[in-house]
Structure 1
């Protein structure tokens, strides 16, 4: 891939990746080793997280179309080989989280993808991209589930920072869905929430105990968007910058 043509995004906007049952099979060991290497790289390159997780879903029976998608990630890395996270020491130490999801974005089983990231000041410290285990019946439900997953990661950081004598209160989780803050503050189960699994409702307890607070944010300011779906080159570049990544010369 050293002489390949570079691209500006890690995945096509309309990628349409499916199991491709009738497609040409490729070497499973090669495909899995490529995915494993890229998963290792996501520890310092969150900009490829969504693309790698998407391709990782087809490791059981990889096809040529899946291998092409993986090679596109390598072509993107060739376009930005020195992109990385910057951690300035003179910065704020406030914990802020972003939570987002797409709605039924995976065209095979109509399941949604949860994405989230946590910042200490302007320093990105953790992130995740995960396909939800159940099919959501509304955008409010899928955003609520994503917020609950993000909340568990925030609470983990809370406990870790206690070892250093640092305590956080009412950590904001920024979500671009209006319904989520209302659901977390309303303990009454109604027609829009009664079907949501009980395990996700622990976020209400965290809000009540003032561990976190759900704050609405505009979609164009939603940093976690990059972990849930594909974008064109302009929006993708904006999101990479919002992650605090810079190009090291």
Structure 2
């Protein structure tokens, strides 16, 4: 979200790192992130950064129509501003007060490669892809055009031979880390992750296919265009009873700022849905929760995106959400999923119909053939 905003505003993002000596140092003084009660300085209200209400690692400073954003993860700091002087002031202040090393323009952060260009920002993990291909000896294998074998769905496969569970879990863990920038592999990785307790040869073959796909597509990533408008939209979808071992459905959802993908979900539902509509409704409620979180997060950036459009490809689900009368046919749906109706009534969200072919969240709920993929 930070990088999506930076690409829209067109400012450069910089990085600083705390020197290790500071991590082991003892701090005798009390440390404040805002002016303590009784010590406010009315003449200098902008002396300190304001902490984000939702994201506690985000700090904001506004000054004469400009904004400085600082995102912190342990000892890594990235920051950017609509006014270059604010960045320079912040960097100088941090270096004066603490042992900091300036790393210039942001190029690598928490395993993500970041390329800042005039037309936008590109986020990828291709160096990491080459690392794991080398680690598991897949640098010379034949590549695959898709991630899943549609003719052989994953099942418990109790009669098949066991495989090394430590190797299997290690491979799954490596791929899970890669889903931070690769939503295209999300469904396949999550499907394979369900068999980590006692993996069989068929499950290992499925994981190997993901590595073969990565061999052919190592450099894909997320492109955040500068020209795209800043508007929040979301897509939600669900399969029906796709998990063969317990017949639960899979929720898929993704959220965009303009055409910038900032969040995506692929998760097996906790309930066994008794209809396609129920599975879609549960997925829509999950997507709604994520949208509300993003809306509140964006308030810190100074944007109000209430009445966000959520696209759904199931008419029955839309009818249940928009009709305030409790349908007799929805008694079996858990009450906690009905909060989406309340959000719709309060105009925090709005529901829109979309054709399945255009619903990008479909990618997060099932395997595709080469043409559709």
Question: Is the 8 Å Cα contact of residues 180 and 214 (structure 1) preserved in structure 2?
Answer: no
Aligned equivalent of 2:289: 152
Give the alignment partner of residue 141 of structure 1, picking from 262, 278, 298.
278
User: What is the distance in 2 between the residues matched to 1:178 and 1:190?
Assistant: 15
User: What is the distance in 2 between the residues matched to 1:217 and 1:34?
Assistant: 36
The reply on whether 1:218 has 2:355 as its aligned counterpart is yes
Q: Which moved more, 1:132-141 or 1:224-233?
A: 132-141
- 3-state SS, counterpart of residue 163 of structure 1: helix
- Deviations for 1:154-181, whole angstroms, at most 9, x for unmatched residues? 0110111111111112101100000112
The reply on whether 1:188 has 2:305 as its aligned counterpart is no
User: What is the distance in 1 between the residues matched to 2:210 and 2:283?
Assistant: 25
Instruction: Looking at secondary structure, tell me which structure has more helix per residue.
Output: 1
Instruction: Looking at secondary structure, tell me which structure has more strand per residue.
Output: 2
Q: CA deviation at 1:82?
A: 1.0
Alignment RMSD (CA, Å): 1.0
Count of residue pairs the alignment pairs up = 236
User: What is the distance in 2 between the residues matched to 1:15 and 1:159?
Assistant: 43
Aligned pairs for 1:123-134 (under 5 A) are 123-134=260-271
- 3-state SS, counterpart of residue 224 of structure 2: coil
Question: Is the 8 Å Cα contact of residues 118 and 154 (structure 1) preserved in structure 2?
Answer: yes
Question: Is the 8 Å Cα contact of residues 320 and 327 (structure 2) preserved in structure 1?
Answer: no
Aligned pairs for 1:230-245 (under 5 A) are 230-236=367-373
Aligned pairs for 1:159-170 (under 5 A) are 159-170=296-307
Larger radius of gyration: 2
User: What is the distance in 1 between the residues matched to 2:186 and 2:159?
Assistant: 27
Aligned equivalent of 1:19: 156
User: What is the distance in 2 between the residues matched to 1:189 and 1:170?
Assistant: 23
Give the alignment partner of residue 84 of structure 1, picking from 221, 228, 241.
221
- Deviations for 1:216-246, whole angstroms, at most 9, x for unmatched residues? 101110100100001110100xxxxxxxxxx
Q: Which moved more, 1:49-58 or 1:164-173?
A: 164-173
User: What is the distance in 2 between the residues matched to 1:14 and 1:50?
Assistant: 16
Question: Is the 8 Å Cα contact of residues 14 and 230 (structure 1) preserved in structure 2?
Answer: no
The reply on whether 1:37 has 2:174 as its aligned counterpart is yes
Aligned equivalent of 2:204: 67
User: What is the distance in 2 between the residues matched to 1:16 and 1:221?
Assistant: 24
Question: Scaled by the length of structure 2, what TM-score is found?
Answer: 0.62
Question: Scaled by the length of structure 1, what TM-score is found?
Answer: 0.92
Q: CA deviation at 1:203?
A: 0.3
